[in-house]
């Protein structure tokens, strides 16, 4: 069994308020959950207008499948126009 964790730090340049940021983050989280069947949570930078740290977790029988799913999630985030990818870290357990 493999547990994969993807931490993604993003910048939301268009967010002028926390309300705007939360709408963008919620939309991205919902699309990730529905498309990839993973767990997603905002981990840090909760009161920052333009920063967000998302945690994405995936559990499967094989490391290669977990790696592929988390890589697809990362590609999806990179393709989102509302956010800029600052940094990411992928860990397998």
Q: Which long-range contacts (CB under 8 A, 24 or more apart) does 13-20 make?
A: 13/50, 13/84, 14/82, 15/49, 15/50, 16/49, 17/49, 18/47, 18/49, 20/49
pLDDT tens digits, one per residue of 32-76 = 999 999 999 999 887 888 999 999 999 999 999 999 999 999 999
Q: Please state the domain extents for the chain.
A: 2-92
Q: What is the pTM of this model?
A: 0.90
pLDDT tens digits, one per residue of 10-42 = 999 988 899 999 999 999 999 999 999 999 999
Return the CATH fold of 2-92. Alpha-Beta Plaits (3.30.70)
């Amino acid at each position: 069994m493999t547990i994969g964790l993807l931490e993604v730090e993003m910048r939301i340049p268009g967010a002028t308020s926390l309300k705007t940021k939360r709408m963008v983050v919620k939309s991205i989280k919902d699309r990730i959950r529905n498309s990839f069947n993973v767990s997603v949570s905002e981990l840090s930078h909760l009161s920052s207008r333009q920063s967000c740290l998302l945690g994405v977790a995936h559990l499967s029988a094989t490391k290669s499948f977990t790696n592929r799913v988390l890589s697809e999630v990362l590609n999806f985030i990179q393709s989102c126009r509302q956010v800029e990818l600052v940094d990411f870290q992928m860990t397998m357990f």
